[in-house]
Amino acid sequence: METLDIKGVRVETHIAGSGPPLLYLHAEQYFEQVGPHLDALAKNWRVIAPRHPGYGAASGATDLRSVDDLAYLYLDLLDELKLDNVVLVGASLGGWIALEMCVRSHARLSKLVLVSSVGVKFSGREERDFADLFYMPDIEAFPMLFADWQRHAPSYAAMSSGQLEELARERHMLAHYGWRPYLHNPGLKRWLHRVDLPTLVLWGEADRFARPSYGQSLAAALPAAELMVIRGAGHYPEIEQSEAVVRAIDAFVQEPSR
């Protein structure tokens, strides 16, 4: 991890590998479990994976209040590192940030990959697009989040206090950025036409937190998106089916732009 200074914001950033640049925006939780996935991506890419402010041990997020702020922060990061033709990958919360970036500017991006992205409201006012993660005991939440939760969900008893604090901080920051409106920006749908770059929407077949039908709605609402469903994965395919996700990203980037 190195710490970048992005216009006065200290951003812990994992940078690894060589090849074309890939900006990876992580999901709301379980960052530690994504390590192997970032390593796999680093075989073909120069992976730049910032930790959202407030996540990780070092930083606070006192003046960054919303996903809008994170979108501007990472647009600044692209400017600061002078990156062009970047493949932007966003998982869940990271996908929402990626969408907010793209409606503002995708001048430095070549392609967009959304993995189980949240952020857009499609359903009516008396329905939720995403299960209420904050209000379920883990025994109910884990089977919604993972295809095989007994293998992939965190086991608190086996974790160090440092790891438990990491999980606690992740939940804290998820509330900070996503409490109300719950994991979406009510105005974002109106501007999705601006996300006019080749987009791959990846979805875990067994995702019951944000269902594959939501992925279909999202892909349909974007100007140039295709949906691919990943078998044997819930909401975090990058954890449960890392290889399949890497293969899908590689294939998508190699195919000529339509």
Partner 1 sequence: MKVWHFSELAYYPAWEELGSQLRNVVPSRLCDPRIAADLYHRGLDEWALCDELGLNIMVNEHHATATCIDSVSTIPMAILARETKKARLLCLGMPIGNRFDAVRVAEEYSMLDVISRGRVEMGFVKGAPFEVTPANSNPADLMTRFWEAHDLILKAMTTHDGPFNWEGRYFQYRQVNVWPRPWQQPHPPVWLTVNSPESAQVAGERGYVIGSLNTGYVRTPAIYAAYRKGAASQGRDATRDRFAYMAIVGVGSTREEGYRRADQILDYSRTALRVGAQFAFPPGYQSVAATAQALKSPGYGRGVPMRGIQLRNGRQVDPNAASVEEFIDAGICFAGTPDMVVEQMKAFWGHVGGFGHLLMMGQGGHITHEDTVDNLTLFSKEVLPRVAELG
Helix (H) or strand (E) holding 88: strand 86-91
Nearer to partner 1, 7 or 179 (CB): 179
Encoding tokens for residue 118?
């949240």
Q: Which residues from 141-180 bind partner 1, rule CB under 8 A?
A: 156-157, 161, 164-165, 167-169, 171-176, 179-180
* Residue carrying structure tokens 């809008």: 68
Q: Least distance from C-beta 39 to partner 1, angstroms?
A: 27
* Residue carrying structure tokens 């105005």: 187
Stretch that binds partner 1, among 1-9, 85-93, 104-112, 136-144 (CB under 8 A): 136-144
208 contributes a contact to partner 1 by CB under 8 A: no
Distance of alpha carbon 46 from alpha carbon 19, whole angstroms: 5
Tell me the HSE value of 144 on the side-chain side, using a 13 A CA sphere.
16
66 contributes a contact to partner 1 by CB under 8 A: no
Q: Least distance from C-beta 62 to partner 1, angstroms?
A: 9
Q: Least distance from C-beta 25 to partner 1, angstroms?
A: 20
Based on its alpha-carbon atoms, the radius of gyration of the chain, rounded to whole angstroms, reads 17
Nearer to partner 1, 80 or 134 (CB): 134
Long-range contacts from 130-133, C-beta under 8 angstroms, 24+ separation: 130/182, 130/183, 130/184, 130/209, 130/210, 130/214, 131/208, 131/209, 131/210, 132/182, 133/174, 133/209
Q: Least distance from C-beta 139 to partner 1, angstroms?
A: 5
> Can you say how many angstroms the Cα of residue 103 is from the centroid of all Cα atoms in its chain?
16
Task: Tell me, residue by residue from 95 to 134, as one string, x for binding to partner 1 by CB under 8 A and - for no binding.
Answer: ---------------------------------------x
- Residues in contact with partner 1, total (CB under 8 A)? 23
Stretch that binds partner 1, among 110-118, 123-131, 137-145, 189-197 (CB under 8 A): 137-145
Q: Least distance from C-beta 173 to partner 1, angstroms?
A: 7
Distance of alpha carbon 67 from alpha carbon 81, whole angstroms: 21
